[in-house]
Structures are given as structure tokens and as C-alpha cells.
Chain A
Amino acid sequence: MSGLITVDDLTNEEILSILDDAERMLPIARGEIHLPILAGKVLANLFFEPSTRTRMSFETAMKRLGGSVLNLGDVSNSSVVKGETLYDTMQMMDGYADIAVIRHPRQGAARYSSNAVKIPVINAGDGAGHHPTQTLLDLFTIRSCHGTLEGLNVALVGDLRYGRTVHSLSEALARFGCSLTFISPTSLTMPREIISDLLNSGISIEETGDLHGSIENVDVIYMTRIQKERFPDDDEYHKVAGVFKLNRSDLSSAKKDMIIMHPLPRVDEISPDVDSTIHAKYFEQAFYGVVARMSLLCRLLGVSVPEVNQ
């Protein structure tokens, strides 16, 4: 592995091995054990778009393992505003860091960056493209709750057109034989390229606009925010904003072990009264971002994860 741009860069065996390592690192992520196996290594965090969880969990992951972090910081204070190309910015990272994480508003920016440098590059979201490290923590969450990734019924809900988390996740779930239900407004359906790839993989897909009718049949509901920032104009956004909402009262027909996930931030698609139900896993999910990214950083930096004794 020389980097992670899409889930296609990982085999199923590699995914499972990363999740196994991540599980062993839970005590480190909780601060119960100090294991500085990345001491002396430097991570460059290049966020050209806003981020809370992804940027901070990469930083936490690196620091918990004894490494250091360089942050690009506010793009308006960098040479990007002077017109520096992404290629030139990445050349600097090749000299300053051992590994780079990039989030960029333009689709393809991560693949482009990885072609520009020798160090491993991790895609932390490229426009409406992919977000494979979110997928790793999503899979970790699903496996922790259901004990398996295989053969589950998963509903992906909301902005499937611009939602990079669901693009990466659906491709990964398909490889583990899950059945997928895509629930979105007609203007925000899953991109045709992805549907075509999923159908070629032989899995079952259903596309619908009915969230509540799907609740009783699924093992996972993966909610997403309708992303205002991806819409070309406000009118288009307001036509679909708030169309899917989950309330506590909607969950009476759900399977007992059905879990609700969300990459966060949420707006109003999950009511706060869902938070205290046994189904709500989104805050736990966000925490798992630390171990999933710890495990990935070790893998890409060629550092094996030892057995961790509590």
C-alpha cells in the first residue's frame, strides 16, 4: 500500500487486517496505554475544506502514537491564495513530512496529489468523490455492533449524489456481500458510475424515496446530511433540505440490533431524541475514527502494531 485514495486501493483482507489492528489500539486511543510506535514520524494535515472530526482524529491518532503533525492551517493564510498549484504545495510536503492527509474541494485532488509525491497520501475527502478513511471507521463500527460485515442489509440515506462517505462505503459494503437500499430525493441519487460498479459486483440494490418503509428490514441506517455547500444555488438546496428525518417514534418497528450511523455533522436529519436509544451509534462511530486512522497510519508507514496488553 502506497497510500489510500479510494477503497479500491485495499483488498478485503487488508481492510479486515486494518480493523483488527484498530481493535487492538482501543486502549491507546482512550489514553489508557502509551505506545509511541510512530515517534519521529511527521504527518502533514492538508485541509483545504473545513473539517472537525477527520482532521482532529488524524491529529489525535498521530499524537497518541508519538508522532508529530504539521497543519496547513487556514488556507487563506497559505500560499494557495497566492496562486500556488496543488502540485507545488505537495512538493513541499514531500520534503517536510513522512505521510500526508488531504481534503480538497476538487474531485480527484487526492489521486492527483498522490501522483505528485513519493510519500503516502491519504484521501480525507475530495469534493463529492471519496472518503475512504471514513469507510474504515464505518466498517469498524458495523463490525463492532453486528460482529460481521457480511450479508447485512444497509440503508444509505440522504445526499447520495454529493455524499463522498456513502460513495466509498457502498463500494466497500458491496465487496462484503451486503444488500444496499439507497434512499434519497430524486435529485440526489447515487452517481451512475457507482451504481454501475455495484451492479457489476453482483449485489442487490434498491433505490427508493421511502425512508420509513425501509426501517423494519435493515440492519444499519446510515444517515447523511444534505450538504448545502455542494449545491449550485440555494433554491435547489431548499427543495430537498429536511426531507428525511428520523425521530425516536419512527424506530418502533426496527430490529432490536439495528444501528443508526451518521458521518456527522448532522443538521436536523436525526432528532436529538434518538441519541439515547440503543440504535444510536454515531458518537461511538466518530470515536472509532481515531483507532481506524491509527491503524491506517501504521500500515502506510510500515510500522507493525504489536499486541497491546492492558
Chain B
Amino acid sequence: MSEEGMRRVTAIQNGTIIDHVPAGSSLKVLGMLGLLDSRSTPISLAMNVPSKKLDRKDVMKVEDRELTQEELDRLAIIAPNASVSIIRDYRVAEKRSVVLGDELLNVARCSFSNCIMNNPREPLPHRILVHSRNPLELRCAYCGKTQSVDDIVNHLI
């Protein structure tokens, strides 16, 4: 994490720091992590912080929670260049990167109302495929409909 970003938010004893999030995207990131409705996890945000790499960026600190690699990989569709630090006793114990795989498995339901996966009793996994990476295009593996990042955030499982 850059010194600039570090100075703007309080140091945490234990938890996860997510740096180099595209400016203005941190609420979507919280949504992807299912943290928007959390009332028990302390979270600090710095938004639109000057950044050499991104010009402007968001930085997030999630206290007392080490995000799993699977959770972090969800971020790849919003913040593909995010860098993640796991903090233990005020020190960086581990660095992790987010990886955009070929599909999002059981992360979100298809947003298309007539997709077969909108029958909640159907037991096969929800699969969103990464159809193209640049520009990013996501499609339901079953019905083929394009899913925006907002669609994903609004249909998280």
C-alpha cells in the first residue's frame, strides 16, 4: 500500500487491506464481498486517493477478517489490479493478488429473469463465464446473456 493511502486511514491490528481499487469502486467491492450489509465488521475506506499507478484510487481496510483467496478472486472483475495485504499484529504477514479465472462459480445468479437458473430449486452450480477480458465481458454459462458488474453485485449468492 502506498504511503499516501496509508496515511489517510487508520492502521489496523489484524485484517485485510485492499489497495489499488479503481477510484469510486470501493462500494461495489464491498458489495462483491458481501460486506455492505455487515454491521459487525469495521471497515475504513479512502476514496479518490492520488495514485501513481491509477491516477486516483480507493483503498479499503477490513478489520479482524482475513479474506480468503476465493473471496479476493471475486474482486478481479471490479479491481483486476488490486493488491491485497493480510495484516497480523500491525504487520504485513502476507501479500496476495487477485486472479480473474475463466468463470465465477456460485458467486452470482444470472440476472436474466427467464434463465433456467432463476428456478432456485435447480441444484447445479451458478456459472458466469469470462467471455472476454479486455474489455471485460461476462456471460451466463447457461443462457449466454451478458452480465454487467452491477448485475453481478445485485445478484450475489
Contact = CB atoms under 8 A, between A and B. Distances in A.
A102 to B, nearest CB: 11
B117 A112 contact: yes
A194 to B, nearest CB: 9
B77 interface: no
Interface in B43-83: none
B124 A107 contact: no
A interface, over-half SS: mixed
B9 interface: no
Contacts of B117: 108, 112
* Chain A CB within 10 Å, residue with most, of B110, B118, B122, B123: B122
Contact of A112 (B116, B137, B139, B146): B116
Contacts of A109: 116, 142
A77 interface: no
A193 B139 contact: yes
A239 interface: no
Given A85-B121, A193-B139, A107 B146 contact: no
A254 interface: no
A112 B124 contact: yes
Given A107-B143, A108-B142, A193-B144, A87 B114 contact: no
A129 B144 contact: yes
Interface residues of B, number: 21
Interface residues of A, number: 23
Interface string B117-137: 111011110000000000001
B140 interface: yes
Contacts of A111: 141-143
Given A109-B116, A111-B141, 11 more contacts: A85-B121, A107-B142, A107-B144, A108-B142, A108-B144, A112-B116, A112-B124, A126-B116, A192-B146, A193-B144, A196-B137
8 contacts: A86-B119, A106-B114, A107-B114, A107-B144, A111-B141, A112-B142, A129-B144, A130-B144
